[in-house]
Amino acid sequence: MIRRLALVVLIFFHFLAFSQSDEISLVSWNIKDFGRTKNTEELNQIAEIVRDTDILAIQEVVAGYGGAQAVAKLSDILNRKGSKWDYVISDPTNSPKYVSERYAFIWKTSRIKIKNRGWLISELATQIDREPFLLHFYIEGKPFTVVNFHSRPYNKDPESEIRALSTYVTDSLKTPLIIAGDFNVDEKMPVFNSLKKSGYQTAITNQKTTLKWSCERTDYLNHPIDNIFYSKNIQKLEGKVIDFVRYCDELEKARKLSDHLPVFIKFRMN
């Protein structure tokens, strides 16, 4: 009887470990002026927030000096927290003056693999000010694609960029796909209908992701504009906003890291 029970327990944990082995977690984060203003202490705080995820997609990496160096330094800090990480940084986007940025991915190499260093989607450079950055990842040989995107501000027609990106991904990309980024538009708006009709869903709904300058009573959150869209061949296991502020007294300190909260998704491919 004891042996049989031990066997059942062993089989249970084997299947539990197997079921978890294909789970992937990803954080998307617009880290304000990343590279221009972050010191070592602030980079360490960022690392503590994201250290338990598998992939970090960063928007708003400074295009000039400091941006690439900050990504490398963050990766190095993460490497000293128990796991091995690697990173890629996009070229500066082909953007109007003072708009150009870079994108970055940082990921744990124990489970996640790549075969190239990704590329900016040049086909969208004339339609999107900061053309998205695309990278194919692999887990246990299975491919999936992440598109990293930062749209124009809300008052400069981000909707036209979202429509262009929606058309591109639905027509051109066939692998399981995640679009991670700062859309500057609430996911409930009609501009996302074509993505949703193609089977895309969101990691979060009705959750604000930007920070106010000051608290109004106990409220320090502003707009629901950051999100993660995922295709129908991806199964979401969990989605949430990572609120690293929590208290009004911490708002000023938190804004030194970013004026956006990270968005988290845990998923597996169907």
Q: What is the pLDDT of residue 58?
A: 98
Q: What is the pLDDT of residue 216?
A: 87
Distance, in Å, from the CA atom of 104 to the CA atom of 42, rounded to the nearest integer, reads 18
Q: What is the pLDDT of residues 52-103, one digit of tens each?
A: 999 999 999 999 989 999 999 999 999 999 999 999 999 999 998 889 999 9
Q: What is the pLDDT of residue 1?
A: 61
Phi/psi of residue 184, nearest 5 degrees = 55, 20
Distance, in Å, from the CA atom of 247 to the CA atom of 134, rounded to the nearest integer, reads 36
Q: What is the pLDDT of residue 205?
A: 97
- Please give the single-letter amino acid code of residue 41: E
User: In degrees, to the nearest 5, what angle opens at C-alpha 259 toward C-alphas 238 and 204?
Assistant: 20
Distance, in Å, from the CA atom of 58 to the CA atom of 114, rounded to the nearest integer, reads 17
**Alpha helices by DSSP H, the chain:** 2-21, 40-50, 67-79, 158-172, 193-197, 251-255
Residuewise pLDDT in 10s, the chain (270 residues) = 666 655 544 444 444 444 457 899 999 999 999 997 899 999 999 999 999 999 999 999 999 989 999 999 999 999 999 999 999 999 999 998 889 999 999 999 999 999 999 999 999 999 999 999 999 999 999 999 999 999 999 999 999 999 999 999 999 999 999 999 999 999 999 999 999 999 999 999 999 999 999 998 899 999 999 999 999 999 999 999 999 999 999 999 999 999 999 999 999 998
Distance, in Å, from the CA atom of 90 to the CA atom of 117, rounded to the nearest integer, reads 8
Q: What is the DSSP letter of 199?
A: T
Q: What is the pLDDT of residues 131-140, one digit of tens each?
A: 999 999 999 9
Q: Which CATH superfamily is domain 24-269 in?
A: Endonuclease/exonuclease/phosphatase (3.60.10.10)
